[in-house]
């Protein structure tokens, strides 16, 4: 499902670390691979913008419904939702939504500080806010490309593999949700085929299994994992063909549930707090 691979978006998409010495570049390449930054999980932004065309018009109401003021009391949700926010930013650019770009930029600034990448993101986020206000969509795309490199470098320097994977996963889950909603609303075999990337699903399911058992066994994580496993099973049933409309609708419903869980209230033990 390359089209939904704006999963990694700014946070992990590799690209171009300009002005590096050859030795430094080799070290960075090794670090990127350690963090799971590769062609499978991180295709170039230019290609992503092209591939996103199949899902237009973007169901922008779904993106705009994000609670941009929300903060989280745990690193797991903060990382997932940081990735989801970056994904929302891409959709806002694709849909050319000025107010949405402003909301995403401010939210990214707040959450980046809690993930120790605030300094690297601040300049770019302010630029995104300014370009969004002016509606300069061409420059916005270029700024996203510049931003990806700086934030990726920050992840490498932190050597925080788990956070990198969670940011990547959060973006992918959000991207899959919006793409599945768009496909269910206006089904075509081409759109449906764009949702299918079982190897990427396997990759992230494997990453979830590597979490610390204290986190992996919480209700928050098991609820997300079980639904992603079901999405993977549906992809397996399709067996290489574009999924049917009913299969897309099943995957859409599961993806919507996952994204609600990602931003749900949880207690200190990772148990979901049900709304009264």
Q: In terms of pTM, does the model score above 0.85? A: no
pLDDT, position 274 = 83
- Provide the 10 A C-beta neighbour count for residue 142: 14
β strands within 5-49, DSSP E: none
DSSP the chain: -GGGGGGTHHHH-----TT--HHHHHHHHHHHHHTT-STTT---HHHHHHHGGGGPSP-HHHHHTS-TT---SSHHHHHHHHHHHHHHHHHHHHTT-HHHHHHHHHHHHHHHHHTT-HHHHHHHHHHHHHHHHHT-HHHHHHHHHHHHHHHHHHHHHHT-HHHHHHHHHHHHHHHHHHHHHHHHHS--HHHHHHT--HHHHHHHHHHHHTS-HHHHTSHHHHHHHHHHHHHHHHHHHHTTSPPPHHHHHHHHHHHHHHHHHHTS-B-TTS-B----
pLDDT of 159 above 70: no
pLDDT, position 51 = 67
pLDDT by residue (tens digit) across 28-46? 555 555 555 555 445 455 5
Residue 1 and residue 43 in contact, taking contact as beta carbons nearer than 8 Å = no
Q: What percent of the chain has pLDDT over 90?
A: 36
Is residue 233 very low, low, confident or very high in pLDDT (cuts 50, 70, 90)? very high
Q: Six-digit token pair at 125?
A: 């986020």
pLDDT, position 8 = 38
Highest mean pLDDT among 47-51, 93-97, 162-166: 93-97
Q: How far apart, in whole angstroms, are the C-alpha atoms of residue 155 and residue 132?
A: 26
pLDDT by residue (tens digit) across 38-82? 554 454 555 666 667 778 888 999 999 999 988 888 989 988 998
Q: Six-digit token pair at 156?
A: 């490498």
**Tokens 């700014």, residue?**
10
Q: How far apart, in whole angstroms, are the C-alpha atoms of residue 78 and residue 166?
A: 9
């Amino acid at each position: 499902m390359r089209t939904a691979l704006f999963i990694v978006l700014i946070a992990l998409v590799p690209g171009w670390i300009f002005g590096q010495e050859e030795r430094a570049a080799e070290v960075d390449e090794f670090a990127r691979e350690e963090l799971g930054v590769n062609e499978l999980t991180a295709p170039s932004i230019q290609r992503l913008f092209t591939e996103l065309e199949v899902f237009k018009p973007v169901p922008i109401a779904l993106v705009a419904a994000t609670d941009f003021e929300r903060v989280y009391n745990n690193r797991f949700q903060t990382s997932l939702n940081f990735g989801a926010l970056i994904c929302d930013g891409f959709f806002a650019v694709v849909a050319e939504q000025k107010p949405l770009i402003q909301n995403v930029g401010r939210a990214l600034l707040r959450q980046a500080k809690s993930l120790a990448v605030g300094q690297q993101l601040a300049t770019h986020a302010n630029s995104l806010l300014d370009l969004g206000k002016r509606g300069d969509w061409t420059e916005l795309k270029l700024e996203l490309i510049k931003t990806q490199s700086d934030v990726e470098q920050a992840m490498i320097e932190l050597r925080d593999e788990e956070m990198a994977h969670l940011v990547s996963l959060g973006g992918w889950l959000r991207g899959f949700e919006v793409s599945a909603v768009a496909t269910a609303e206006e089904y075509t075999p081409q759109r449906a085929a764009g949702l299918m990337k079982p190897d990427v699903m396997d990759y992230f399911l494997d990453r979830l299994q590597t979490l610390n058992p204290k986190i992996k066994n919480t209700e928050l994580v098991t609820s997300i994992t079980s639904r992603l496993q079901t999405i993977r099973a549906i992809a397996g049933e399709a067996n290489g063909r574009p999924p049917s409309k009913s299969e897309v609708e099943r995957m859409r419903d599961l993806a919507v549930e996952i994204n609600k869980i990602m931003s749900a209230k949880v207690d200190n033990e990772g148990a979901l707090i049900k709304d009264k």
